[in-house]
Amino acid sequence: MTFSDLKLSKPLLHALTQKGYSTPTPIQQQAIPKILEGKDLFGCAQTGTGKTAAFALPILQLLAQSPTNNRRNIRALILAPTRELALQIHENIVEYARHLPVRYGVVYGGVSQNAQVQQLKKGIDLLVATPGRLLDLQQQGFLSLQQVEFFVLDEADKMLDMGFIRDIRKVIASLPAQRQSLFFSATTTNEIKNLAATILYKPESIAVTPVSSTTELIKQFLYYVPRENKRGLLEYVLKNGNVTQALVFTRTKRGADKVARTLSAQGWRAESIHGNKSQGARVRALDGFKKKNIDVLVATDIAARGIDVENLSHVINYELPEVAETYVHRIGRTGRAGANGIALSFCTEDETDYLKGIHQLTKIPMEVIARHPFSF
C-alpha cells in the first residue's frame, strides 16, 4: 500500500514525497480512511508508530477542502501533554502542510506568551497546544474554541499521569458538541476508557503495537551492577559499546543533572532534559541531540515524550522505571522505522522488583552481560 491508495490530496502526497515517505505505517493505513470519513476514533498506539501523521494528514486535508472566510476561528485543536511533544507535532504539521492554504500554530507554557498571542491574532486554522497555556490564553480572551471542528487528544495516558484531567474536562466543556474527535493512548485502562467515553461519539477503535509487545528489532541487554558503580558502568559502555548516540533515562530530575554533569566532565557532549529546565534550554538540548551535536541526552520520562530522533543507536536505562509500561516507551525511542536498536538496562539489588514487572509485561528475556568491570 502507498499513501496515494489512502485518497490523500496531491499537495499532501507531494509533501510526503519530499520527506521521503511512500509507505504508510499500520496505524496510518487504519486511521486515515476512517478520519477522512468523518468518524470519531479511539487509537491505542505508542510513540514511534507514526500516529502524528495518522491524524494530522487527514485533518489537514479536510481543513483544506472546506476553507473558511473567518480568519479568527480555530477549526482544529490538537492537545498534547508536554511542550516537547507539542513542538514535535507542530514541526511535522509544518512539513505536511507546506503546499496547503492552512494556517497553523503552537502554544505552550514556560515561555512568554507574547509571540503566541500575535500568531493567534493573525488567525490560525489548526492549533497544537498544551492544556495549561491553552486555558490561560482562553481565559484572557485571546482564543475561542467554539468553532472547533476537529479535536485530537494525544497521549491521553500521559495526560492523566501528569494530573491534567481537570484541565482536559475544562477544554472539552469549551468545545462544540458537533465535532470530530480523535483519542490516542498507549494504554487502555478503565480510567482511559471512561475519559474516552466522555469525548467520543460512536468511535471506531484501532490498535497497533500493543504496549506489551516490544519490537523485535531492539536488542535488549541487562547489566547487574552495585548502585555505586553505575556511573562507572555508564562510562564503560559508552566507550566500549559502539555507541554513536545514546538517550539515557533516570527516574529523577536531579539524577539526570548529575549524570549529565559527570559525563560532560569526562569529555562527552552531554546534556540533561527535564521539567525544571527552561523551555529554551529544553529546545536547545533536543535540537542539539537531533543534529548530532550532543552525544548523550539524559532525560526523565515525562521530558522524553516527543523525543523522536532518527537512527538513535542506544537507549540506556541508567535507572529502571517503576512502571513496566514505561520501559517499553523508553526503549521504543530506538529501533524506529525499521532500523535496528539496542537497549541497555542497569539493575541494582533494589531494582529487581521493577525488572520482574518488565519481564512479566514484555515476555522477552534480556540478554545478561555478566562479565564487565563493575559487576558485583
Between CA 311 and CA 336 the distance in angstroms is 7
Q: Are residues 203 and 261 in the same domain?
A: no
Q: Are residues 229 and 138 in the same domain?
A: no
Provide the residue type at 29 as one letter. Q
Q: Are residues 268 and 348 in the same domain?
A: yes
Q: Are residues 163 and 249 in the same domain?
A: no
Is 69 contained in some domain? yes
Q: Are residues 25 and 102 in the same domain?
A: yes
Q: Are residues 19 and 157 in the same domain?
A: yes
Is 143 contained in some domain? yes
Is 202 contained in some domain? yes
Q: What is the pTM of this model?
A: 0.67
Best CA proximity match to 28, nearest among 53, 56, 60: 53
Q: Are residues 85 and 127 in the same domain?
A: yes
Confidence (pLDDT) at 154:
94
Is 301 contained in some domain? yes
Are 341 and 217 spatial neighbours (Cβ–Cβ below 8 Å)? yes
Q: Domain residues for 95?
A: 3-207
Cα 146–192–273 angle (5° rounding)? Answer: 85
Best CA proximity match to 295, nearest among 276, 309, 281: 309
Is 153 contained in some domain? yes
CATH number at residue 248: 3.40.50.300
Count CA atoms closer than 13 A to 193's CA, side-chain side: 4
Q: Which residues contact 61 (CB under 8 A, 6 or more apart)?
A: 8, 9, 12, 36
Provide the number of structural domains found in the chain: 2
Strands 246-249 and 270-273: unpaired
What phi and psi values does residue 57 have, to the nearest 5 degrees? Answer: -60, -50
Q: Which residues contact 124 (CB under 8 A, 6 or more apart)?
A: 74, 103, 104, 105
Is 313 contained in some domain? yes
Question: Which of the listed residues 141, 174, 207 is the one where a domain comes to its end?
Answer: 207
pLDDT along the chain (376 residues), means of 10: 91 90 88 96 81 95 85 90 89 94 93 94 95 96 95 92 91 96 88 93 84 67 96 95 92 93 95 84 87 93 70 92 82 72 94 90 87 89
Neighbours of 11 (CB within 10 A): 18
Q: Are residues 189 and 278 in the same domain?
A: no
Q: Which cell goes with 295?
A: 552525544
CA 97 to each of CA 60, 125, 135, 201, 299: distance values in angstroms, whole numbers, following the listed order: 7, 12, 26, 28, 31
Is 213 contained in some domain? no
Q: Are residues 194 and 229 in the same domain?
A: no
Question: Which of the listed residues 149, 179, 207 is the one where a domain comes to its end?
Answer: 207
Question: Which of the listed residues 174, 207, 240 is the one where a domain comes to its end?
Answer: 207
Q: Are residues 148 and 250 in the same domain?
A: no
Are 347 and 320 spatial neighbours (Cβ–Cβ below 8 Å)? yes
Q: Are residues 229 and 201 in the same domain?
A: no
Between CA 304 and CA 155 the distance in angstroms is 13
Is 374 contained in some domain? no
Q: Are residues 80 and 10 in the same domain?
A: yes
